């Protein structure tokens, strides 16, 4: 929630600034297996977001004292490139925001990856935001899920993520940067579609009880389209024979 000063109009003639309806996502594309060195990778364009996710592992745990004898550990780095924002030049490396986001993303994948399949090993997830336009953590999670599958890591489910929130009296989905900055509430979520469990949930701003229900439902409903695009991206790499 940015400052209320100089707040731009976010709704014009019943549409959003980019002409979308409140329940309409931005156009997006997902491509798997885009990096040679990584064990798995994925490139997502989501509106103006450009996000690269890569997975290395399972591999030896470094440093070794972090090793868990009966399961894998997951490390996750979410970071925004210094040139990723329209207005400023960010400093290299993760700031406090990025450290928090990296932590909650790691926890999403600790839920779905079959950790006990890979004892005493480490799985690294790297999410680099090359260009950011609102909803980067959601797009990053959606990309990382595909990258993990592309790396052949066993998972119980392929989670997706999306941000929902409130603009005035409207509950809306998939905020762009301007909406992200000036909306009245923002609620990024990650969901495991098979059992409907919410694996990431953050929220700030203000929502009443009924608005939260509506926003939760909107994020769940968005799953169908996003999940299909994720598995289509994997199908494109492996063909239908892999059964993905």
Partner 1 sequence: MEAIDVVKTNYVKELLAKKAREDMRQFMDFRKIGIVTGLMHNAEGSAQVDLGNTRVLCGVKLIVEEPMKDTPNQGNMMVAAELLPLASADYETGPPSPEAIELARVVDRGIRAANSIDLKSLFIEEGKVWSVFIDLYVLNYDGNLFDACTLAAMAALMTTKVPKVEDGEANREDRTQPLKLDSIVTSTTFGKVGGSILLDLDRNEENASDGRITIAIDDANIRAMQKGLRGGFTKDEVEMLLDIAFQKRAELKRALDQAAR
Binding site for partner 1 (CB under 8 A): 1-3, 5-6, 96-97, 99-100, 102-104, 107, 110-111, 185, 187, 192, 195-209, 212-213, 216-217, 220
Smallest separation, CB 205 to partner 1 (Å): 5
Q: Is the peptide bond before 142 cis (omega within 30 degrees of 0)?
A: no
Residue number with CB closer to partner 1 (9 or 70)? 70
> What distance in Å separates the CA atoms of residue 134 and residue 118, rounded to the nearest whole number?
35
Q: What is the edge-to-edge ordering of all strands in the sheet holding 170-173?
A: 170-173, 160-167, 185-192
Residue number with CB closer to partner 1 (46 or 78)? 78
Smallest separation, CB 73 to partner 1 (Å): 12
Residue number with CB closer to partner 1 (47 or 132)? 132
Residues 6+ apart with CB under 8 A from 211: 166, 171, 185
Smallest separation, CB 19 to partner 1 (Å): 26
Smallest separation, CB 179 to partner 1 (Å): 16
Residue number with CB closer to partner 1 (143 or 207)? 207
**Residue 227's closest CA among 186, 194, 187, 178?**
194
What count of other Cβ atoms lies within 10 Å of the Cβ of residue 220? 16
């Amino acid at each position: 929630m940015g400052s209320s000063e100089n707040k731009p109009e976010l709704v014009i003639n019943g549409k959003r600034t980019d002409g979308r309806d409140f329940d309409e996502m931005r156009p997006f594309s997902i491509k798997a297996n885009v990096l040679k060195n990584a064990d798995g990778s994925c490139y997502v364009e989501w509106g103006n977001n450009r996000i690269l996710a890569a997975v290395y592992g399972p591999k030896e745990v470094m440093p070794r004292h972090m090793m868990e004898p009966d399961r894998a550990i997951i490390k996750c780095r979410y970071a925004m490139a210094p040139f990723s924002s329209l207005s400023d030049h960010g400093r290299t490396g993760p700031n406090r925001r990025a450290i928090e986001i990296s932590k909650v993303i790691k926890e999403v994948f600790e839920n779905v990856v079959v950790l006990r399949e890979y004892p005493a090993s480490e799985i690294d997830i790297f999410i680099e935001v090359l260009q950011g336009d609102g909803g980067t953590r959601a797009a990053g999670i959606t990309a990382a899920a595909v990258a993990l599958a592309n790396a052949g890591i066993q998972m119980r489910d392929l989670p997706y993520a999306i941000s929902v929130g409130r603009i005035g009296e409207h509950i809306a989905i998939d905020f762009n940067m301007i909406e992200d900055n000036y909306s009245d509430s923002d609620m990024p979520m990650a969901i495991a579609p098979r059992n409907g469990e919410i694996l990431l949930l953050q929220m700030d701003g203000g929502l009443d009880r009924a608005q939260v229900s509506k926003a939760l439902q909107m994020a769940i409903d968005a799953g169908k389209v996003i999940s299909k695009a994720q598995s289509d991206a994997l199908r494109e790499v492996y063909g239908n024979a892999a059964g993905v």
